[in-house]
Structure formats: structure tokens, C-alpha cells
Structure 1
């Protein structure tokens, strides 16, 4: 029976010797003797064989051993522990299977939390944590949102290049986990890290952002992408033209684009039928902005639907909650009460301003009315 090392008031050197003996008992190729080169060399050798415990060892025991290594790493000055921490993180990312992956995630998180908040190594540990989270589909355990991510590194912000690398990884992981809304926010944050001077370097990221937004069946507000510097750098290219169609054009414009650039659309990995479905929804939203009442015939004509498909389409639109409306099947009409705008420009800001001004005026009228009522009641009480 193997004896798990328990580090109670042991020096780092003695802890290292306990770990050496433990891993040797598991069959790892390591000596039980301390290294004459010091504790860093001891840890280097221990980390090199620490994956020996991934085989036929209870999970609780594995976690205890790996946490023991973490407790030693965080006590070594960071400038001497950098390579050791990186090597240990690499081992954690290679833990086989879901259960060991979860153990590695907990151990990695312990190390991230144990490092001083001013340590630049926290970034590297976190990057590896995201990789482990990807393998076990647990990204929500390490990533909440972009603001929370920035708070994690407030004391020691990563370089711009490091943050870009991390955001690319998070975008990939979030897409894989079907968290498209968060993935979009991460990508927008990534593109925001580029300036006018280096926007040309963001070409690949900008294309990836556009494709993710177009392919996501739940992303309909695409207008903000056009304002991003790296996306503006793509003006004049087909990918930018396609985005512009989805931002402001109707279904016939998409069909015209597709007829002339079929191979390009398919080369992007986009599904034409999904594009059609999305463009129909966007076209309906645009029609609803200027029409509080629409006939089934108009919808059928504008959206290129069969007569039998109109009612089912309207029901699908209402499920998205992009448009608030009522369908009158007997009259074959749709009555629109409100809709989300596809674009939010000067006209929409003016409309919002007018709405708020009207709301303010109504509040003032109500307030004056309440004052009059209160004054009348006071007069009545005085007379009594």
C-alpha cells in the first residue's frame, strides 16, 4: 500500500524527498536522494514524473499530491519558479479523461489563487486553466465575463499581445461550448485591442469575428461590428460586403450576393439555408420598423415564402422576441407593437431622445396633477 506524503511543518527539501520517494514507489524513474543542485532541481525532476500518479491512483490522492507540489511552487521566488510553474501547467493540461481533467482544473485554480496578485505568472497559469477547461467543457468555472477577467489581472495586467492570445483562446473555447453570446463579446473585446496603426494586423481576427456573428443563429444586431477598426480595414473585400448585407439589406440583396459569390460563401463554411433563415428574420424586422400592420401577402412576397409557410414563419419570429406582434389569422395580418432595430444610428438616437423627452414631460404633468390633488385635499381639511 502506497503512503501519500503529508507535509506538516516540513522544510521544502524534506517535502521534495517525500515526493521523490512517493513517485518512485509508483514506478517513476526518479531517485529518492535530494539533488545537490537545490530545491529547484528537485522540483524540476518531481514535476517531470508527476503524471505517474495519473495511473491507477484514487482521485483524492492525486489531488492531494498535486496540491502539495503547488504549495511548494508558490513558496519559491517567482523569478526562480517561472519554468517550474510552466512545466507543471503543461502536465495539468495533459491529464487524461474527464475526472482527472476536473482534478487538474481544481489544482490549477488553487495555484492561480495562491500566486501573488502582482505575479506575472498568474497569466500563464490562467491560460493553461482555460485549456484544461476546454478539455472538460467547464469554461464557466474559470471565465465569467470580460469585466471579471480584467479584474483578475488588475494588479498585474498582461501585455497587449498576451491578452490578445488569451482572448483568441477564450473565443474558441466559448464557441465550442455553444456560448455564442459570450464568445461574441470576447471577440469584440479582442478587436478593440487593436489601434488604427496596427488594425491591418487584425485581419484574421476580424474575419473570424464576422464569421462567428453571421453563423450564430442568435446574433441579429450586427451593426456595431462595422465600427470596429479591424473590420473597417476590410472595406472593399467580399467578407465586408457580406457583413454589410446582413447589417442593413433585405433578403433579395443576399440572394444577389450569393448568386454571384457562391463559392466564396461556401469557402467561409457558412450554410446557405441558415443564411436565408437569418436574412428572412432580419428583413422582417426591417419591415416591422416602418409598418405597424402587415398582410400575409406582403410577408410572403418580401420574404420569398410559400403561402403555406407564412404562419409558421411568423410564429418563429415571435419566439425570438425580436418583434412584439399579434397575428390575426382570420384577417391574414400581423399587427406590430415594437421591434428591435437592425441598426442604431442617428435616427434611432433621435427617436430615443424624443421618447425620453415625452416620458419626462408626462412625469412633470403627473407631478403637477398630484400637487393639485394634494393641495385640494389640504384645503378641504382646513375648511373642516
Structure 2
């Protein structure tokens, strides 16, 4: 099998045209193949002379696509590297984008044929582009290819650079939505990425803030999904969801109002409220894949945090038992579970049958929490100011004392 090796005797693009043409016409016999190869090489040369780079890319892609299932991956990667480098030729950004669009579209047409290689080609193309709009287009094509070709493991690492991508791309709201939802869907299928999937889904829902009702409606299914994922996650206890327009629209929705009510229970109420909800909505919970026993366990931890934040530093065992609806011998184990989950910092006083709490997490961080934080910061600033003033006064007193002592010595 021939490997493309660019030399000084022939332009790399012509070498690729010749290689792909010879391979694609190899079964037609020498007489036919020779004529077709010559024709394609002449056509390619004309494109290069006339600076018709888009036409050249189209010609090369057509031949390369024909041999994709025949040629070794090393040869294909080399050929497509040359093709992708054609985007450096045009001076117009519009022409560059048109060429990038052509290449990306052609590469993703058969996602099940060497999908990992196709993905590698797309990322090579991405790295050659300088226009943020074109980069974003190719990246989204890569995500779609990864999903359709079932090779999403190759794009997971790129999600860690999403903040940098967003700064570079400067996307509009619509493109942000498409990106966040695509990433959330990919992570959802990846084992161990439930929390990351939820975070990108929340980013998606956040883009609907300030939108009119008709636009927000399109996020209804994803809003329900976010609630279900939050409730289902055993290690997520905080979420700023209730005030989001995309979530809030469910409160008065004929179909999804109970789902909103469930979220409200998990963010603002205690176990007794959940048990009452379950008594009339057991079928609804099952339809969303929610397990009652898991929900009860999560609500017990949440309820413990709730009473910890409301009591004046001490929680009697009796109150924990009553609120969590557990036996006496289970109280300490549930407190330990809350500590392990980093929901509270506390000390268990077995002698006095109380739990002494020093810190509790906030279940939601809304207006009330911001006001409390503002008050704490103001107090902290006042305390620091008092300390500084005290230090300055003491320094002045010390300087005066030392000066007086000096005069006495003299």
C-alpha cells in the first residue's frame, strides 16, 4: 500500500490527489485508471493556479471519501491533514469558513466508519482555524460525530477547557444553549459524570433568564430533567433552581406542577412534607426513575441540616429522632452520615444527648442567603477596622511612652 510522502518534486495537494485517485480507480484497470488519474490531477492543478481553494478541497474530499474504507488509517490521516491545511490558503474569513464547513460536513457523513479517525481529523481542522465562529462550528460537528459514532470518550477531556472556549468563541445565547445541552447529553451517558452533566444542564437552563414565555417553553423537558437529576443524585444537596424562569414555569404547568412541587420540598422543606407528597404521587416518582427509599435517605440528611441551621447551635437527640422519623439508636449514625457528606460540622455530646453544630450548608443560595452573607461581610469589615484602630492607638501610646522615657534618661 502506497503512503503519501510529500517531496519537493510535487505539491502535497497534488500528491494526495494522485494517491487517492489511483486507489479509487484501481479496480477499473490500468487503461481507465490512468486517464481518470490524469484528469483529476489536471483539474487540481487548475484549481491551484486560479486560487479556487474551495473547489480543490471539494475535489480532494470526493476522492478521499471513496477510499476511506480501503486505505490504512495512517495514509488517510496524512491525506486529510493536507486537505485540512487548505483552510490556510484563502484570505477571506468567509471563504475559510465555507471550506471548513465543507470539510467538516464531508468527514461526518459516515460516523460509523472509523469514527475515532474522523474525530481526529476534525480536531486537526479545528486547530488550523483562527476564526472563533468557524472553530465553534467544527467543534459542534465533532460533538455530533462523537455521539453518532459512539466515541464520546474522545471528547470528554475537552469539556475541562470549556471556560476558555467560551471566552474565545464569544457565543450568542442560541449557540450557548446548543453547546451546553450537547455537552450535558454526552456527559449524561458517561458513567461517573452525573454531576458534571447536571451542571451543564443548569448552564443551559440559565440562558433562558429574561426570555419571553414562548421561548422558555422549549426548555420545559430539560427543566424537568434537571429536577429529576438533582433529586436522584445522592451527593447533591444544593441547587439554585427555584428562581430560574425555565424551572419556575413548571409551577403552574398542568402536567409538570407536581415535579416543581417535589423540587420545592427538597430545597425548602423536610421529610414529613416529602412523605405526604409520596402518598399521592408514588406513580409519578416511579415514572421518573426515582426510588422512594433513596429519596427518604436524602430527605433525612436535608432535614437534619435544616434543623441544624435553625436551632441555636444545639440539636436535641429527641428533635432529630422526631424530624427524621428514626429510632433512638439511629440518631448518631445519621449525624455521622451528614458529617461525612460535609453537610454539617458538629460535635456529638452523648452525655447530654445533644448535637452541637458549628456550621451547616445552605440548601439554596438565593436572596436571603446573599443578604446574610452581606451582613457577615459587613460585620467582618467592621471587626477588622476596629482591630486596625486598636493597633494604631496602641502604637501611638507605645511611641509616646518610649519618647517620654528617652527624655527622662537624658
Shorter chain as normaliser: what TM range? 0.7 to 0.9
List aligned pairs for 1:54-69, cutoff 5 A. 57=72, 63-69=77-83
- 351-360 or 73-82: which moved more? 73-82
- Number of residues paired by the alignment? 370
Deviation at 1:378, TM superposition (A): 1.9
List aligned pairs for 1:1-384, cutoff 5 A. Answer: 2-8=1-7, 10-11=10-11, 13-21=13-21, 23-24=23-24, 32-35=37-40, 36=43, 39-49=56-66, 51-52=68-69, 57=72, 63-72=77-86, 75=89, 77=95, 78-80=97-99, 82-91=101-110, 93-94=111-112, 96=114, 101=116, 103-118=117-132, 120-131=133-144, 135-144=151-160, 146-154=162-170, 157=171, 160-177=173-190, 178-194=192-208, 195-197=211-213, 198-222=215-239, 224-236=240-252, 237-291=257-311, 292-382=313-403, 383-384=405-406
Unaligned residue ranges in structure 2 (runs of 5+): 45-54
Deviations 1:292-333 (A, max 9, x none): 212333212211223343322221110111211112344433
SS at match of 2:5: coil
Cα pair 1:296 1:333 within 8 Å, conserved: yes
In structure 1, distance between residues paired with 2:352 and 2:26: 79
3-state SS in 2 of match to 1:124: helix
Contact 1:47 1:88 in 2 (8 A): no
Partners of 1:273 and 1:374 in 2: CA distance? 63
Q: Is the CA contact 2:100–2:125 (under 8 Å) kept in the aligned structure 1?
A: no
Deviations 1:255-301 (A, max 9, x none): 11111011111111222222112211111111111122123332122
Whole-angstrom distance in 1 between the partners of 2:196 and 2:322? 36
Deviations 1:329-367 (A, max 9, x none): 444331100111223345433432332222122112211
Residues 346 and 209 (structure 1 numbering): CA distance in 2 closer, same or farther, change over 3 Å? closer
SS at structure 2 position matched to 1:190 = helix
- Please state whether the residue corresponding to 2:235 is helix, strand or coil: coil
Find the aligned partners of 1:49 and 1:152 in 2 and give their Cα distance: 36
Matched position secondary structure for 1:344: coil
Cα separation, partners in 2 of 1:257 and 1:16, compared to 1, 3 Å: same
Larger radius of gyration: 2
Deviates more, 1:16-25 or 1:40-49: 16-25
1:217-244, Cα deviation, whole Å (9 max, x unpaired): 222123x211111211111311111111
Is contact 2:242-2:248 (8 Å) kept?
yes
The whole-number CA distance in structure 1 between the counterparts of 2:334 and 2:242 is 29
SS at structure 2 position matched to 1:52: coil
Give the SS at the match of 1:305.
Answer: coil
CA change 1:338–1:13 in 2 (3 A) is closer
Q: How far is the alpha carbon of 1:113 from its aligned partner?
A: 1.8
- Cα distance per residue 1:37-89 (max 9 Å; x no partner): 85244223234235326x7x4x6555434433322455463335523321113
SS in 2 for 1:233: helix
Q: Which runs of 5+ in 1 are unaligned?
A: none
**Do 2:320 and 2:331's aligned partners in 1 also have CA atoms closer than 8 Å?**
yes
User: 8 Å contact 1:43–1:84 — kept in the other structure?
Assistant: no
8 Å Cα contact 2:205-2:223 kept in structure 1: yes
